[in-house]
Structure 1
Amino acid sequence: MSSQRSISSFFAPVGRTTSTSKSSSSSASKPGSSKPVHNPKATGSTSKALPKTTAPSKTKAKAKATSKHDDSENEAEGGEVEEEKEDEDEDDLPTSRSFSKRLRAFSVQSGGRPLGTDSAAPAPKRVRLERRRVDDDEEEEAQMGEPIQEDQEDEPEEPLPHKLSHAPPKRSGKGIITDRFAFSSSQLADGSVHEEEAISPEEALRRKKNHEKFVRKLGRPGAFELRQRENGEEGDEELDDEEEEPERVPEPKKGSKAAAKRGKKLTPLEQQVVDIKEKHMDTVLVVEVGYKYRFFGEDARIAASVLSIVCIPGRMKFTYDPSEAHLDKFASASIPVHRLHVHVKRLITAGYKVGVVRQLETAALKAAGDNRNAPFVRKLTNLYTKGTYIDDIDGVDDHDAVGAGSGGAASTGYLLCITEKLGGGAGADEKVKVGILAVQPSTGDIIYDEFDDGFMRTEIETRLLHIAPCELLILGELSKATDKLVTHLAGSTNNVFGDGVRVERVERPKNMNATSSIHVSGFYADKIKNGEADVPQDLLDIVTQLPDLVTICLSAMITHLTAYGLEHVFDLTKYFKSFSARSHMLLNGNTLSSLEIYRNQTDFSEKGSLFWTLDHTSTRFGRRLLRKWVGRPLLDRPQLEARINAVEEMLSSTSERTQQLKTLLTTVRYDLEKGLIRIYYGKATRPEVFNILNTLLKISKTFRSVETPDQCGYVSPLINGAMASLPEILESVEEYLSKFDHKAAAKDDKYSFFKETDEYDFILDSKMAIKGVELDLQEHLEDAAKAVKKKRLDYVTVSGIDYLVEIENSGIKNVPASWVKISGTKKVSRFHTPEVLRLLRERDQRKETLANNCDRAFKDFMIQIAGQYQEYRDAVQSLATLDCLVSLATVAQLPGYCKPILTDGIGIKVKQGRHPMVEQLLIDTYVPNDIDLGAGQRRTLLVTGPNMGGKSSYVRQIALIAIMAQIGSYVPADSAEIGLLDAVFTRMGAFDNMMTGESTFMVELSETSDILKQATPRSLVILDELGRGTSTHDGVAIAYSVLDYMVSSIKAMTLFVTHYPILAQMEKAYPGEVVNAHMKFEEATDGSEDITFLYQIAEGTAHRSYGLNVAKLANVPQAVLDTAAIKSKELEAEIKARETARWFANILQGNINTEDGLLSEISSLSIS
C-alpha cells in the first residue's frame, strides 16, 4: 500500500519534529507517486496546482534505482538536503529544516523538479537514530518510561487527501503533530480550493536565517541532556530547575463531588512536597529540584518576603481550598544551589524553622535502578533553627542575631528549655519552681538550674538576660506571669534580644516526671554500651543527680535535638555547668540593664557598653569566653588574683613568647570551637577539616619546645598552664594531617582526598572498576574502526561531550544505522556507538558509587578525629584564655588605669575614679571623683544635687569599677582597693511595665522588694530616686523607711540618690554610717539663677534641685518657665508660712525647745 503525504506536513513550524519525517524520503522515490500539475503560464514558483494521486505500481527497489543522484546534496539523515554553509564547528540540526528544504523535498517526492535546483531527488539512505528535541507529549512519555516511536523507512504512508484539510491539526497516538497548515485556503463558489501564492526563495532564506539564530540561542538538540549525563546530574526528567512530571489527570467536571473534594490533580513532585509538608506544617521547606532549590505555596510567599526574590503566583495552601480551585500549580520561588546556606541563614535569623528536602539519588543511579520511571526520591534531610544551625562554620554570626536589649547581650546561640510547677502562695501563680536547661550546639556548652521564683519572676529574668538564648523551648503550660515575661523578652524588638527569639511550645505529658529519668538514663546507657560517648563515671553522676525539673528539660531537649541530628551534644557531659553555682558575683537583669554591661541604653547597641570597653580579643572563641567573664565576675579570691596577676605579667612582658602569642592570635581566622563541634557532629566539609587541623597544627607548633609549664618562662601559673597545654595535641594532629592530600582537601576533591597508602579498600575497588570501563572504551575503538572500514579511530571531546567517534562525511555511508549522531560540521560527523553509550552509562554508575564511597570514608575519618574532641577542645579553651588575658592587658595599657587591690574585707575605696565607658566616648576630659565606703563606717552615701549634675553617672561609675576589678581587669582610677562583692543590685530609672500591667510606682516597689530580700552585707546596692513614682509625701515616707531598713538591718553598702532633702536627717540618726554628699555646682552672681555644673562630689546636702534650669536647657517655652517660676515661689512662701505658724504655736504652748525636724525639712522642699 502506498500513500501520499499531505502538503501541509512539509510546512510544519521550524524546530518541530513530525512523526512522518523519516518516511518522507522513501515515499518520494516510490513509483506511482503523484506529480504536481504545473501551470505553463506560471513563472518560477509563484503558484502550483493541486497534485493528483495515482495508485502505486512499481516496486521499492526500482524506485531506489531510478532516484539515485548526487549524494553531495544530501546528508545521511533520510535524504535530507545538506545546508550549504561555511565549515564551522556547529552541531547539525537535521530536525529543524528550513522552509526551502521542505519545499524542495516536497517537489522531489511529487516527482517534479526541486525548486531552485536542476538535480533529481536523491535516493534515501539508511535511517539512523538521532538525538532530537521532542514536544511536550513526547517528554511526558519519556518521563513515564514509554519509548518514543519514530516512523521506519518501510512504514506505509497515509494517503494524500484530495483537498487540503480545514480541520485543526491532528495528533497521532503518541501525541506527535502530523498535520500543520501551510496555506490558508478557502472554498470557491464552484467548490474548488483557492491556494495562496508560495513563499519566494528570498523569504524562505530570511526565515532560514532567523531559524538558525533561534537554534543557536536555544541550544543544540540533545547537547543539554548529554552534558547532564556526563556530569552525573539530573537526567531528562528534570530540565533546568523544574522536574518534568507526567501530564496531570484531567480535572473532574465542574459540579462533581470529586472536584469539590480534591480540586486539581497534583503532579508526583507536588505530591511529594505535600506529603512532607503535612508532617512539618511549622517548617519552611526548601526542596531540591534539578539545579535549584524551590519553595512552594505559602513557603514561597515567606521566602519572597524575607529573601527579596520573585514569587510566581499560584496556590498558597497545601490543602484544598475552593478559592484556589482555578489555579493549576502551587506558587513557587527558587534559589541557586550554591546560595542555599546564605538564604537559610537569613530565614532562620528571621525566626523561621527551615527544612531542606534533598534528592537522595542521582540521574545515573536512578537510570540503573528499578524506579527509573518514578520521580526522584526526596526526603527531609536537615532541619534548621537559630539555635541548631551549625552547617556553616560561621553559623549564625552574633552580629546577625544582634538585638536591641536593655542589658541583654546579642543572641549567643543557646537553645533554652524551660518548665515549671506551681509552688503555692497567695495567688494561683505567685510562687513557682522553675527548671531550665540551655544548650549551645555550636560549642557543646550546657547550663542548667532549678530555682524558686516570686511573683515578679526576677530570677527567670536574670537567667534569660545572662544566657541570652536565641531560641526557647517551652515545655508544658507556664503560669500566666511567667508566660507573659518570657513572651515579652522573646518577642520585643526593643528589649533584650531585638530581632526576636523563636519560641516553640511542646506538650508535657502527665507522666513525664516518672518517664524523664528513665529516658535520660537509657540514653546514656545506650551511648556507653555502644561506645559512642566518653562518659566517665564521675561525669555521669552529674546527669543522674540533676534536679527533677532539670531532668525533665534534659529529656525533652534530647528528643527535640534528635530531630536535628544534634543529640550527640549531650555526650559531652564535661561541659554541664550549673548556673546557680555561686562562684561568681550575681548581676541580675536590672543590673545588666542599668549598668549597660552588654548594651547601652541609648540605641541598644554594643558600643558604649562595658563589654565593648573590655573586648580587644582576636578570636571568636576568645570573644565568647570574655563575654562569660564580664557577665560572671569572680568571687573566689585566689582565682581572681591569679587572673589579675596574669594580666599584669602579660602587660609588662616583652619576651619573645609573648610576641609569638600575640602574632599567633592575630593569624587564627577560624572559629575552632565551632569547627570542632561540626567535626564531632560529622557535618564538616573537607576544606573545613583541613583548615581546622592545619590551624591546630600551627598553634601546637608555635610552642612545641614547651614540655612542662615551668618551661614557659612566666611567673603566672595561669599563663604557664594554658601555654603548656597547646603542644600536647601536636602528635595526633600531625597524624591526621598525614592521611590525606592537602591540595585535594583545599579544593574539596573527594576522589583524591585520601593518600593512596591510607585509602579505603572500597574506594580503591570503585576506582579500579572505573578504570576497567575506560579500558573497555579504548578497546572498543578497534571494533568501531572495523565497522566503518577504517584502520584506526580516536575519540574526541567536543563541548564537554567525550568519547565521540568522528567520521568524515565522505565516508559516512559506512556508518552503521545503530550509531547515534551527536554533532557535526560540514566536513565531519560525530557519533556515539551503542557500546559506547552502554559503557558511558556504566561509567556514570561507577562514578556515583565512588562518590558515595568517598563520602562514607570521609565520615569515618571525622569519627576518628571526634575521638580527640575533648583534647582539642581543651587546647582551644586554653588559647581562648590567653586571648582574654591579652585583651585585658590591652585595656590595662590605657592611660590612667591601675591594678586594683583585692581584700577580704567589706569596702570600696577609689581615688580619682572615672566612668570606663563615658571616658572613652567623651571628647572632653572626664571629671574624676573619689569614693570611700566600708564596713562599720560610711556604709551609706546619700547623694543629692541638681538635675543633670552627674549623680547617676557617679554611682554607676563606682559599681562598674567594682565589677571590672572582680572580672580581673585594671580599673580607671589612680588607686582602687576593693573588698569582694557577692552581688550588685540597682533600682534606677522610672518606667512602667505594660507587659504585666504594672504602673511606674509598682515597678519601683517590686524591684526594691527583691533587693531587700536578696541583699547581704557584702552587696553593693544602688537606689536612684526611689519614691518619685507617687506623691511627694508618700514618696518621702517610702524612701525614708527603705533607707532606714538598709542601714539598720541589711547593712549593705548603699548609694542612695535622691531629691528629697529631708532624707539628709539620716546622717544624724546614723552618725558615721550615713554620709551626705552632693554634686557641686556654681550659681551665677548676676541674679539670673543660672548654674554651672562642676561634676564633683562633695560632702553636704543640696537643698534645691534647680529643675527650672534643666527645663531651660531643654528649650521649654519661656512663658512656661515664667509661670513655673512664679508658682515655685508661691509654694515656697506658703510652706514657710505654715512652718512659721507651727513654730509660734509651739512657743505659745510652752514647747519652746521642741523642734519638729521632719516638718522643718519638708518646708525646705523646693519644686524649682
Structure 2
Amino acid sequence: MYVKKKPPTTVRIFDRNDYYSVHGVDATTAAREVFSSISNIKKMGIEPNRLDYLVLSKGNFEILIRKLLLVRRYRVEIYVPEGSVKACDWSVKYKGSPGYLSQLEEVLGEGLGSSNEQAPCLMAVNIKSDVVTRNRMIGIACITSGEYLLSVSEFTDDDLLTELETITVQMAPSECLVALAENDDFKSLKKVMERANVTLTKVKKGDFSTEGLNQDLNRLLKFKEGQQQDANAFPELRKQVAMTSLAAAIRYTSLLNDNTNFARFRLTTIQPDCFLHLDSAALTALNVLPELGDTSNAPSRSLYGLLDRCRTQHGKRLLAQWLRQPLRDINLINERLDIVELLMDNSQLRLQLHEDHLRRIPDLQVLARRLTRKKANLHDCYRIYQAINRLPSLLQCLGDANNATLHSSLAEPISELNNDLEKYQQMIEATVDMDAVDRGDFLVKPSFDEQLQNLADQLEKLQSSADKELNKAARDLGLDAGKSIKLESNPQNGFNFRVTLKDEQSIRGNKKYVIIDAVKGGARFKTNALESITDDYLQTKTAYEKEQDKVVAEIIGIAAGYSECLSCLSHILSRLDVLVSFAVAATTAPLPYCRPIITESLDEFILKDVRHPCLEVQEGVSYIPNDVIFKRDSCIMHIVTGANMGGKSTWMRSCGVAALLAHAGCPVPARAATLPLLRALCARVGAADREDKGQSTFMLEMIESAAILRTATPDSLVLVDELGRGTSTYEGCGIAWAIAEKLATESKCFCLFATHYHELTRLPSLHPNVIVNSHAEASVVDQQLLLLHKIAPGPATHSLGLHVAKLADLPDSIIQYAEEKQAQLETNLFEIESAVETEETTKGQKIIMEFLQKCKKIQETITSDEKMLTEINKLKQELLQSESKYVQSIISTL
C-alpha cells in the first residue's frame, strides 16, 4: 500500500477490528498523549528498517482521538482494511480535524465535542489584495455543523489583519482553511491564527471556487414558508470573496455527502460590531477562558472557571460564547442585568432553578442533532420527553417571580415551545412502554402496532409454556418451583433450568434432562420440550425486534420534525442557565458584587473598590480593593509605577475584567461601577517568548502594541504593562513614551499604563488634565519590604527592585554586589550626563558669543541702518540653522 506523505500534525490510526495500531512518529505522539511515556512503543520489522508501533485498546483509542482533536488541534485519519487485515490493503474510512468532527461521530458518538466549551466551528479565509491601493479584501465563512449554521463576512483590513483577529476571537473556530500560498498576507494570517490557537489547514486554490455553489446552497439551506427557493435571494451571496470561502468550507466538510444536512442550514452575516472588540492578547491577559486541555475549571485560573456554575452542557457552551462576545447594546445588557439582579435578590427562585429544574435538563442541542441525523434511539426520545414534562413546573417557578423582563424574554418563549411540543409528548406516551422504562428497558408498546402485538402475544404464550415446563420438572424432581429449581433465560441459550450443586445429583443419569454446565452458582440443564420452546421463542423474539426497529425508526422520523423546536428550547434554557450561573457566582463570592451602570456618555469610567474575581477566591488571600477613576476633563490615562509584585498588574486586570463582565451582562466585583459603553478592550499585559513561533518577547509586544494603536479610540479601554522590555533602556523608554503619548493625545482612550521607566512620570506635567501618575504603595520597614497592594495618586518615589530580589531569596552576596553596581552605574551616568551637558553648553555659548561679536562689528563698520539690518538678518539665519541643542533651547524661549 502506498501512503502519501503527511505533516506531523496529522495522525494516522489503523483499525484492526479488536484493537488499533499507530506507527512511526505517530506512535510517539500517541504514546505521549495517552500514556505520558514512550515505554509502550514496540518495534516491528528487520534492521535497519525497523518501525515503531503502538497498540491501543478501544478505550485508549477514544482518549487519543479526543486529545488530538480537542486539545492538540491535530487532524486524524482512520484506516480500515480492504478485505483481510493480512492483505495489507488499507483505505481511509474516517477523517477528522478540529473544525470537522462529523465523520468521527460514528466512531466516538454524537457527543464528541459537545461537552467542550464550544461547538466545533470551521473557518475559511480568502484574502484579495490590491497591489495598487494596497487594500486587503477579506472574505470569511464559518460552518458550525452542530447548530446547522453558515456565517459569512466580507471587509477590508489592515496589514496586521486586526479586524480578522476580532472576528476569530468572537467565532472561536477550531480550524481555519486557507489557499496554498507563501506571500505576506499568508504570513500575517498565520500569525493571527497562531495567537488564537487555531489550526491552519492549507487547501488547493481551486477549492476557493464558487462553481456550483448556488446549487449546493439550494440543497443545504432551509427556506421559510413562502420564500423563493433560490439561494440567490439571500443578500449574503453578493459578498463575492466571502462566497469563495464558503465554497471551500463546504467542500472540506463534505456536507453534501450527508442527506440529513439538506434543508437544515441557516445563512447569516457575522456582525462583529454588535460585540465588544477583543483580540487574542486581551483574552490571554485577562484569563477569560481556560487553556486548551485544562479540564479542572478551577475558579482561580480563568474567568470561565469562576462563572461556570451552569447545570447544562449547552449552558456551559453559551457561557464561553458570551465571554467571547460581550454585548454593545445597552438595552440587551440591561435585560441580562435585570434578570441576574432578580435572581440575586430572590434566593428561593435562584435555588429552585439551580438545584432542581436546570440540573434535570439534558443536552437538548445534542439530542436534537441526533434526531436530525437519525442517530437517536428510544432512550433519547424518552430523555427529551422527561425534559418537556418538567417545563410546566419550571414555568410555574418563573411565573411566581412576577417579573416583566423574566416573563417576556424567557417564560413566554418557553411556554410557546411547550405548547408546540405537546404532540411530541402525546406521541411518546402512546408509543413507549412506560412499565418497561421502570425496569430500565426502552421498548415500544406492543399495543401500538398490530403486528407487534401479535408477536408479543406469541412471546407471552411461549413464556407461559416455559413456566409450565418448570412446574412439570419441579414435580418430577420433587423440588420447589421458583426456589430450589428456577427458570432462566439468556440471549445465547434461551430458556434453561437451574438447580443448586447440592440438588444436581437428582438430574444426573436422568435421560429426560441434558446438563448444559455446572459451575459454582449451580447446574444448568434443559429438556427436549424446553429446547423446542426456546427455538420458537428466539425466532419469535428476533421477528419482534425487527418489527420494533421498524416502529422505532418511524417514531424517530416523526420526532425529527421537532428538532428545530428543541434547538430553540435548548437555546432559551441555556440562556436561563447562564444567567442563573452569573447570579450564583455573584452571591457566593467572598465580597458582594454590584450591578454596573452602563452609559452612552464617554465622560467617566468609575470603579469603586474593584477586585479581581479570580484572585479573591484563592485560598489564603485577603484581597485589598482599589478604585479606578477616569474623567474625560481631568484624567484618561494613569501612568502606574511601583515595586514588582506590588499589585499594578492585578489592578489593571481587575479593571479589564470588570469592563468585560459588565458588557457581558454580569455583576462586577466592586462596591460601585459606572462604565461607558465601550467599543474595544485592548490589553498588553505580561510578556513571554514564543520560541516555537519564532517570536521574542520584544517582537510579541511590538505586534500587540501595533494592534492596540490601530484599534484604540476614545470609547476603548487599553491596558499596557511593562512595554519596551527586551531592548536597550533608552530605546525601550522611548518606545513606551511615544506609545503612551499617542494613546493619550491622539487615540484619547481610557488607559492604564504600568511602567518601570520613571521618566514617563514626567508625562502628566506635559499633558495636564489628560495624564496622571499613580503608584502601588510599598514601604521598607527595618530593611524589609512591605507591599501594601494599594494604588495611590502620584509617582513611586524610588525603585524597590533589590528589596523584591530579597523576597525572592536571592543570595545576599548577589544583592550586595548589585547595590554596589547600582551606585556605581548611577554615579557614572550622572557624570556622563553632566559632562555631555557641560560640553553642549560650552559649544552653544561659544556660538552665541561669536554671533554677538559679529553683530557688534557690523554696528561699528556700517553706518546705513538698512544695510546693517540686512547683514544682521543673514547672521540670524545662520544661527537658526545651528544644530546646537543649547542654541535651539534659547531660541525656542524667545
TM-score (norm 2): 0.74
Q: 1:414 aligns with which of 120, 138, 141?
A: 120
Q: 1:600 to 1:851 in 2, by over 3 A?
A: closer
Q: How far did 1:1013 drift?
A: 1.3
Could you tell me whether the CA contact under 8 Å between 2:126 and 2:241 is conserved in 1? yes
1:650 paired with 2:355, answer no
Could you tell me whether the CA contact under 8 Å between 2:494 and 2:538 is conserved in 1? no
Q: 1:563 to 1:841 in 2, by over 3 A?
A: farther
Could you tell me whether the CA contact under 8 Å between 1:618 and 1:665 is conserved in 2? no
Structure 1 runs not aligned, ≥5 long: 1-260, 263-273, 275-280, 361-374, 402-410, 779-795, 1160-1168
- Residue 869 of structure 2 is matched in structure 1 by none
- Residue 845 of structure 2 is matched in structure 1 by 1149
1:681 paired with 2:373, answer yes
Describe the SS at the equivalent of 1:1071.
coil
1:780-807 per-residue CA deviation (whole Å, 9 max, x = no partner) reads xxxxxxxxxxxxxxxx9999645899xx
Q: 1:831 to 1:766 in 2, by over 3 A?
A: closer
- Tell me the C-alpha RMSD between the 2 structures: 5.4
Describe the SS at the equivalent of 2:272.
coil
Q: How far did 1:747 drift?
A: 6.2
Could you tell me whether the CA contact under 8 Å between 1:432 and 1:454 is conserved in 2? no
- Residue 477 of structure 1 is matched in structure 2 by 180
- Residue 614 of structure 1 is matched in structure 2 by 307
1:1067 paired with 2:764, answer yes
Partners of 1:803 and 1:1066 in 2: CA distance:
92
- Residue 520 of structure 1 is matched in structure 2 by 217
Q: How far did 1:282 drift?
A: 7.4
- Residue 1039 of structure 1 is matched in structure 2 by 736
Partners of 2:639 and 2:92 in 1: CA distance:
64
1:1088-1108 per-residue CA deviation (whole Å, 9 max, x = no partner) reads 5x5422222222222533222
Structure-to-structure mapping, 1:855-874, within 5 angstroms = 855-874=549-568
- Residue 1136 of structure 1 is matched in structure 2 by 830
Could you tell me whether the CA contact under 8 Å between 2:312 and 2:359 is conserved in 1? no
Q: 1:928 to 1:341 in 2, by over 3 A?
A: closer
Partners of 2:683 and 2:53 in 1: CA distance:
54
Structure 2 runs not aligned, ≥5 long: 4-9, 468-486, 498-506, 519-523, 850-883, 890-894
Does 721-730 or 858-867 show the bigger shift?
721-730
Q: How far did 1:986 drift?
A: 1.2
Describe the SS at the equivalent of 1:512.
coil
Query: Letter of the aligned partner of 2:285 in structure 1?
Result: S
Q: 1:934 aligns with which of 610, 619, 631?
A: 631
- Residue 639 of structure 1 is matched in structure 2 by 332
Could you tell me whether the CA contact under 8 Å between 1:304 and 1:333 is conserved in 2? no
1:395 paired with 2:101, answer no
1:1123 paired with 2:848, answer no
Partners of 1:651 and 1:514 in 2: CA distance:
55
Could you tell me whether the CA contact under 8 Å between 2:307 and 2:585 is conserved in 1? yes
- Residue 694 of structure 2 is matched in structure 1 by 997
Q: 2:672 aligns with which of 975, 996, 1015?
A: 975
Q: How far did 1:1129 drift?
A: 1.5
- Residue 788 of structure 2 is matched in structure 1 by 1094
Describe the SS at the equivalent of 1:942.
strand
Q: How far did 1:1049 drift?
A: 1.7
TM-score (norm 1): 0.58
Structure-to-structure mapping, 1:688-699, within 5 angstroms = 688-699=380-391
Structure-to-structure mapping, 1:555-566, within 5 angstroms = 555-562=247-254
Query: Letter of the aligned partner of 1:758 in structure 2?
Result: F
Partners of 1:602 and 1:845 in 2: CA distance:
50
Q: How far did 1:482 drift?
A: 7.0
1:758 paired with 2:448, answer yes
Q: 1:986 aligns with which of 677, 680, 683?
A: 683
- Residue 593 of structure 1 is matched in structure 2 by 284
1:367-394 per-residue CA deviation (whole Å, 9 max, x = no partner) reads xxxxxxxx9xx99997766633556778
Query: Letter of the aligned partner of 1:917 in structure 2?
Result: C
Q: 1:951 to 1:803 in 2, by over 3 A?
A: closer
Query: Letter of the aligned partner of 1:735 in structure 2?
Result: Q
Query: Letter of the aligned partner of 1:909 in structure 2?
Result: I
Q: 1:347 to 1:1022 in 2, by over 3 A?
A: closer
Partners of 2:801 and 2:259 in 1: CA distance:
60
Q: How far did 1:1026 drift?
A: 2.1
1:921 paired with 2:609, answer no
Partners of 1:1157 and 1:999 in 2: CA distance:
42
Partners of 1:797 and 1:916 in 2: CA distance:
61
Partners of 2:546 and 2:176 in 1: CA distance:
36
Could you tell me whether the CA contact under 8 Å between 1:420 and 1:478 is conserved in 2? no
Query: Letter of the aligned partner of 1:675 in structure 2?
Result: L
Q: How far did 1:1124 drift?
A: 2.3
- Residue 805 of structure 2 is matched in structure 1 by 1111
Describe the SS at the equivalent of 2:607.
strand
- Residue 661 of structure 1 is matched in structure 2 by 353
Structure-to-structure mapping, 1:405-444, within 5 angstroms = 412-424=118-130, 433-441=138-146, 443-444=147-148
- Higher Cα Rg: structure 1 or 2? 1
Could you tell me whether the CA contact under 8 Å between 1:914 and 1:929 is conserved in 2? yes
Q: How far did 1:522 drift?
A: 4.4
Q: 1:1100 to 1:510 in 2, by over 3 A?
A: closer
Describe the SS at the equivalent of 1:545.
helix
Q: How far did 1:694 drift?
A: 0.8
Partners of 2:294 and 2:488 in 1: CA distance:
63
Partners of 2:286 and 2:137 in 1: CA distance:
28
- Residue 405 of structure 2 is matched in structure 1 by 717
1:145-188 per-residue CA deviation (whole Å, 9 max, x = no partner) reads xxxxxxxxxxxxxxxxxxxxxxxxxxxxxxxxxxxxxxxxxxxx
Q: 1:559 to 1:1155 in 2, by over 3 A?
A: closer
Could you tell me whether the CA contact under 8 Å between 2:350 and 2:584 is conserved in 1? no
Q: How far did 1:926 drift?
A: 1.6
Structure-to-structure mapping, 1:276-675, within 5 angstroms = 284=13, 286=15, 293-295=18-20, 351=74, 353=76, 387-388=101-102, 390=105, 395-396=111-112, 412-424=118-130, 433-441=138-146, 443-444=147-148, 447-470=151-174, 472=175, 474=177, 476-479=179-182, 506-509=203-206, 512-524=209-221, 545=237, 547-562=239-254, 568=260, 571-574=263-266, 578-599=269-290, 606-607=297-298, 608=300, 609-653=302-346, 660-668=352-360, 670-675=362-367
Q: How far did 1:933 drift?
A: 0.8
Describe the SS at the equivalent of 2:682.
strand
Query: Letter of the aligned partner of 1:627 in structure 2?
Result: A
Q: How far did 1:1019 drift?
A: 0.4
Identical-residue share of aligned pairs (%): 22
Describe the SS at the equivalent of 2:206.
coil
1:878-909 per-residue CA deviation (whole Å, 9 max, x = no partner) reads 22222222222223323242222221111311
Q: How far did 1:982 drift?
A: 0.8
Count of residue pairs brought into register by the alignment: 793
Could you tell me whether the CA contact under 8 Å between 2:170 and 2:272 is conserved in 1? no
Partners of 1:474 and 1:775 in 2: CA distance:
64
Higher helix share: 2
Could you tell me whether the CA contact under 8 Å between 2:80 and 2:93 is conserved in 1? yes
Partners of 1:935 and 1:560 in 2: CA distance:
51
Q: How far did 1:544 drift?
A: 5.0
Query: Letter of the aligned partner of 2:376 in structure 1?
Result: A
1:953 paired with 2:647, answer no
Could you tell me whether the CA contact under 8 Å between 2:179 and 2:208 is conserved in 1? no
Q: 1:426 to 1:1097 in 2, by over 3 A?
A: farther
Q: How far did 1:743 drift?
A: 4.1
Could you tell me whether the CA contact under 8 Å between 2:630 and 2:637 is conserved in 1? yes
Query: Letter of the aligned partner of 1:620 in structure 2?
Result: Q
Does 765-774 or 923-932 show the bigger shift?
765-774
- Residue 905 of structure 1 is matched in structure 2 by 601
Describe the SS at the equivalent of 2:210.
helix
Q: How far did 1:344 drift?
A: 6.6
Q: How far did 1:585 drift?
A: 0.6
Partners of 1:848 and 1:416 in 2: CA distance:
44
Query: Letter of the aligned partner of 1:673 in structure 2?
Result: Q
Q: 1:886 aligns with which of 566, 572, 580?
A: 580
Partners of 2:888 and 2:693 in 1: CA distance:
37
Partners of 2:673 and 2:369 in 1: CA distance:
42
